Amino acid sequence: MTETYDFDRIQQRWLPVWDELTPFRSGDPTDARPKKYILDMFPYPSGDLHMGHAEAYALGDVLARYWVQRGFNVLHPIGWDAFGLPAENAAIRNGIDPMTWTYANIEQQKASMRRYACSFDWDRVLNTCDPEFYHWNQWFFLQMFNRGLAYRKASNVNWCPECQTVLANEQVVAGACERCDSLVTKKKLTQWYLRITDYADRLLDDMAELEGKWPEKVLLMQRNWIGRSTGAQVTFDIADYPEPVNVYTTRPDTLYGATFFVVAADSPLAADLARGTSAEAALSDYADAVKKTSDIDRLSTDRPKSGVFLERYAINPVNGERLPVWASDYVLADYGTGAIMGVPAHDQRDLDFARAFGLPVRAVVESEEDPAQTGVATGDDGAHINSGPLDGLNKVEAIAKIIEILGERGTGEEAVNYRLRDWLISRQRYWGTPIPIIHCPQCGEVPVPENELPVRLPPADGLDLSPKGASPLGAAVEWASVACPQCGGAARRDPDTMDTFVDSSWYFLRYLDPHKTDGPFDPAQAREWMPVDQYVGGVTHAILHLLYSRFFVKVLLDMGMVDFAEPFTRMLNQGMVVMDGSAMSKSRGNLVRLSDELAENGVDAIRLSMVFAGPPEDDVDWADVSTAGAKKFLARAWRLSGDVTSAPGTDQGGGDLALRKITHRAVNDMQIAVESLRFNVAVAKTMELVNATRKAIDTGCGGDDPAVREATEAVAIALSLVAPYTAEDMWARLGHTPSVARAGWPIVLPDLLVEDSVTCVVQVAGKVRERLDVPPTITEEELRALVLSNPAVLAALDGAEIRTVIVRAPKLVNIVPA
RNA sequence: GCGGGUGUGGCGGAAUUGGCAGACGCGCAGGAUUUAGGAUCCUGUGUCCUUUGGACGUGAGGGUUCAAGUCCCUCCACCCGCACCA
């Protein structure tokens, strides 16, 4: 028999068979198997699949296929995150309708994914750009609007001059647009926001239930992003000014050390304070300059402090001192109250500012160094001084005391603050979900009635999509002009579209019933399937997408539509595929084309390479990967199936015991490895089993021994998680009917996990001197006696006195000489 | 600057609870079979020493322990996140 492993033939043979069998369909209501939801992050349809997809979907597929083998009804869906700028940019560049471009790419990716043999349930595919999907974005928006969670406000927002749109805080990376890397500036605009800050505490506190199940790194990033801090709000009167001004501070205990007062230069408060004073013009110039400064300049930490004295004085509520009021850009308008008390001795930024403008420095916490001299603010704990009633107290005591004092006088209270800002969702672009609001000159913001949803996008044909700072939808006059649902008068649709992160905030629920027409999802199905048991995706979404999804689910919980607080029970962040240490890109010239690799070595070899390369969360360097080696191994495994000569269904009871033990041990170890997400180790165990089986056939019990069939079948089933084509072909050659994907995981017999002899390591003074084969059941006393009479051990001891003998039966004995 | 993570052969990486370091693979070397081989199979492959055999060895240094890649302390290197958040 000179058959050879031909991946091409195998791929062509089995793909149509699977289409017929649909082994991964999950929607049968009579299906009695227990349920599991394995979710891969859905792709953006920008061209064909690439190496990154190949890795991510290979990893997710191992889990999905494993749980199917373990007898679960696994929901493993896929869809397309199909709204977004690239479609629009391609449209502008090439004159193609974004819709045409998007659907063409989806079809291409879908075909590639099928060939890549991902175990998706193809009945559940969704595209976020379908009106059937974005209908429910609009519905959610209205629910939030009705609950006061969606609102419009004017604010200085992040503006990308290149994309000509606003960006969420989360989309600004180091002062630049995450998409095009242009420097982001500020622009005052009225925009829609979702009130995620209302959920800050729950987003933070509910992370306790994710501890140990999500990567610690992601939890930490989310914690930092939310940035909860506790301190106090302190009320300062301003001399000759009608309104008092609050400041937020985490160090209210240093209130006696305040020597000045600062408000954010670009805040309305600053303008108000300066109005009518001789500082008005200076502030206006300064504020203009600040707005022009890009974030990247603002962020450079060694930038000298700047500011304008507003010719006003704030009154320190605890000692009546008059503090000069300044405006500066080092105070942020949208954090806390946009105003601070300046305590230069104990805050570095305040100290830098004080030194720049010759303001006094007064230490109120004892320390050896004097900040006024060193230029280094002291933040350490210590006894308070110059602080009236706080003198002698440490930090914790002083904070408690000052909050008590402020409370009694009604000039302050304990307060919590967050770094998290509300989620800005308006986008001035075409290819997204229209915001279902109608602006009526009489009635104001009027929601589109639910029965008129979805508000469909007008055809792109005839619209100018090029970025110009205003939404293209506003120019679709016919579309935008509507009658106000309340008064019937002439009104206009909101011309903006939603951030595409709205789509991904709940798409995992839509999969449960993707064709539902009378609601976003079926709550009954959600009770069955949710939360997602295992989510697999890139760490690039560690903050944005995961935070927003968690927020949405908490809103849904409050709406009574779901009964859980966290959408994703477990999270796996796969690494990236890199080449020679850096990200693959055409411009770098280190791009490895997936299609080339697939043609060269086949789907299974690529999938195997990805899974075997290392731990799933680590980056895979393609330079370290041998797809040819993977193909060689698959051929080696496949050849086993041709050497099995016993009939299918042969009783394995009488098979070669040694091989049977190896098989059961291997299956047991693979199981543990897969369940702890160490897929590379699972593959290694499969390789060991293949090697042992080959040896048994060639030089051991021979190909007709039932144990060889048992081992080879175990190999086929194990490989079905990673190399489905090879596995299916092996399964057929072993005389079975397809599909191996539903063959069931081999049952591990505990009896066969027991070794009949173990190697006992004998150490003398911690060094290995002898190995003994002993029965696993040997007692400590027996082992001690055996070892102490062993000639080699006695020789190693060389007559030395024995101090102690540590016996860990059956595996180890350590003799400690005196 | 603050916070977090990671350091194991030439390379990717293994190693329940502290208990044989280097599983599995890549690469490399030698051999078998071949007209040939980028096919297949076998053997070897941490470093050093003169061998049977031994010594050393998990970023560096110290500690705990009969026993440390694993636990503790100090340091170094690299990677990631945040970055005027009061």
A16's tokens: 């149509």
DSSP for A675-725, please give it: HTT-HHHHHHHHHHHHHHHHHHHHHSS-TTSHHHHHHHHHHHHHHTTT-HH
Q: How far is the CA of A190 from the C1' of B71 (A)?
A: 57
What is the enclosing helix (H) or strand (E) of A798? none
Please give the nucleotide, over all strands, whose C1' is closest to the CA of residue A676. B16
CA A540 to chain centre: 6
Q: Checking DSSP bridges between strand A73-75 and strand A165-167, what pairing results, if any? A: unpaired
A737-749 confidence digits (pLDDT tens): 999 999 999 999 9
Question: What token pair was written down for A162?
Answer: 């290149």
Q: Is the C-beta of residue A264 closer than 7 Å to nucleic acid chain B? A: yes
The pLDDT value given to residue A687 = 95
| Residue of least CA–C1' distance to B55 | A767
pLDDT of residue A1: 42
Is residue A481 very low, low, confident or very high in pLDDT (cuts 50, 70, 90)? Answer: very high
How large is the average pLDDT for residues A344-373?
91
C-alpha A257/C-alpha A722 separation (Å) is 65
DSSP character string of A171-211: GEETTEETTT-PBPEEEEEEEEEE-GGGGHHHHHHGGGGGT
Cis-peptide, bond into residue A244, ω within 30° of zero = no
Q: Is the separation of the CB atoms in A68 and A727 below 8 Å?
A: no
Check if the beta carbon of residue A758 is closer than 8 Å to that of residue A773: yes
Cβ neighbours of residue A508 closer than 8 Å, sequence gap 6 or more: A39, A530, A532, A549, A567
Predicted confidence (pLDDT) at residue A185 exceeds the cutoff of 80: no
How confident is the model over A638-644, as a mean pLDDT? 92
Cis peptide before A112 (omega within 30 of 0): no
Lowest mean pLDDT among A122-126, A273-277, A719-723, A797-801: A797-801
Q: Specify whether the CB–CB gap between A124 and A77 falls below 8 A.
A: yes
- Burial grade of A56 (CB within 10 A; 0-12, 13-18, 19 or more): buried
Per-residue pLDDT tens digits for A10-52:
999 999 999 999 999 999 999 999 999 999 999 999 888 999 9
The arithmetic mean of pLDDT across residues A638-663, rounded, is 91
Average pLDDT on A195-222 reads 92
Q: What is the mean pLDDT of residues A217-222?
A: 90
What pLDDT, on a 0 to 100 scale, did the predictor assign at position A586? 76
Q: For A252-305, what is each residue's pLDDT tens digit?
A: 999 999 999 999 998 899 999 999 889 999 999 998 888 777 655 665 556 788
Q: Which of A206, A330, A327, A350 is nearest to A265 (CA)?
A: A327
Report if CB A792 to strand B is under 7 Å. Answer: no
pLDDT of residue A123 exceeding 90? yes
Confidence bin at A677 (pLDDT 50/70/90) = very high
Is residue A644 within 8 Å of residue A33, measured between CB atoms? Answer: no
Q: What distance in Å separates the CA atoms of residue A446 and residue A298, rounded to the nearest whole number?
A: 39
Smallest Cα–Cα separation from A548: which of A506, A500, A505, A510?
A: A505
Q: For residue A89, what pLDDT is reported?
A: 82
Who wins on pLDDT, A625 or A297? Answer: A625
Looking at residues A710-735, what average pLDDT do you find?
A: 96
Query: Do residues A310 and A261 make contact, with C-beta atoms less than 8 angstroms apart?
Result: no
CA dist A486 and A772 (Å) reads: 90
How far apart (Å, rounded) are the C-alpha atoms in residues A517 and A560? 19
| pLDDT over threshold 60, residue A199 | yes
pLDDT attached to residue A388: 92
Percent of chain A with pLDDT over 70: 97
Alpha helices of A425-464 — where are they, by DSSP H? none
Which of residues 603 to 622 on A have a Cβ less than 7 angstroms from any strand B atom? 612-615, 618, 621
Lowest mean pLDDT among A2-6, A277-281, A423-427, A570-574: A2-6
DSSP SS3 for A96: coil
The answer to whether A223 CB is within 7 Å of strand B is: no
What per-residue confidence (pLDDT) applies to A296?
Answer: 57
The 3-state DSSP class for residue A438 equals strand
Q: Which has more confidence, A530 or A778?
A: A530
Q: Does A166 have pLDDT greater than 90?
A: no
Q: How far is it between the farthest Cα atoms of chain A? A: 108
- What is the SS3 assignment for A806? strand
The answer to whether residue A151 scores a pLDDT higher than 70 is yes
What is the C-alpha separation between A610 and A426, in angstroms, rounded? Answer: 39
Positions of chain B reached by protein Cβ under 7 A: 3-5, 11-15, 19-21, 23-27, 39-42, 54-56, 66-68, 80-86
pLDDT at A540: 83
Q: Which amino acid is at A505?
A: S
d(CA A280, CA A311): 9
Confidence of residue A161 (pLDDT cuts 50, 70, 90): confident
Closest nucleotide C1' to the C-alpha of A636: B40
Through-space separation of residue A152 CA and nucleotide B11 C1' in angstroms: 56
Half-sphere exposure of A420 toward its Cβ, with a 13 Å CA cutoff?
30
- What is the pTM for the complete model shown? 0.93
| CA terminus-to-terminus distance, chain A | 65
Rounded average pLDDT over A608-636: 92
Assigned token pair, A51:
């190496």
pLDDT of residue A299: 58
Are the C-beta atoms of residues A626 and A656 closer than 8 Å to each other? no
Average pLDDT, rounded, for chain A: 90
> What is the distance in angstroms measured between the alpha-carbon CA of A106 and the sugar C1' of B14?
40
pLDDT at A302: 66
pLDDT over threshold 70, residue A169: no
Q: What is the arithmetic mean of pLDDT over A387-401?
A: 92
The tokens of A322 are what?
Answer: 């008059």
Dump pLDDT digits (tens) for A435-462. Answer: 999 999 999 999 999 999 899 999 988 8
CA–CA distance, A295 with A741 (Å, rounded to integer): 53
* CB A253 within 7 Å, strand B: no
In this structure, the strands spanning A150-160 and A165-167 are antiparallel
Q: A418 CA, B80 C1': separation in Å?
A: 23
Instruction: Provide the pLDDT for residue A461.
Output: 83
Residue A168 predicted with pLDDT over 80: no
Of chain A residues 652-711, which have a beta carbon within 7 Å of strand B?
678, 680-681, 683-684, 687-688, 691, 694-695, 698
The pLDDT score that the predictor gives to residue A623 is: 87
pLDDT score of A351: 93
What one-letter code names the amino acid at A649?
G
**CA pair distance A627, A194, nearest whole angstrom:** 47
Q: How far is CA A15 from CA A20, A76, A116, A466, A600, in A?
A: 9, 18, 10, 43, 18
Q: Is the CB of A588 under 7 A from strand B?
A: no
The CA distance from A785 to A627, in Å, is 52
Element (H, E) at A757: none
How far does the CA of A245 sit from the C1' of B76, in Å? 50
* A708 CA vs B34 C1’ separation (Å): 30
In contact, A42 and A537? CB cutoff 8 Å: no
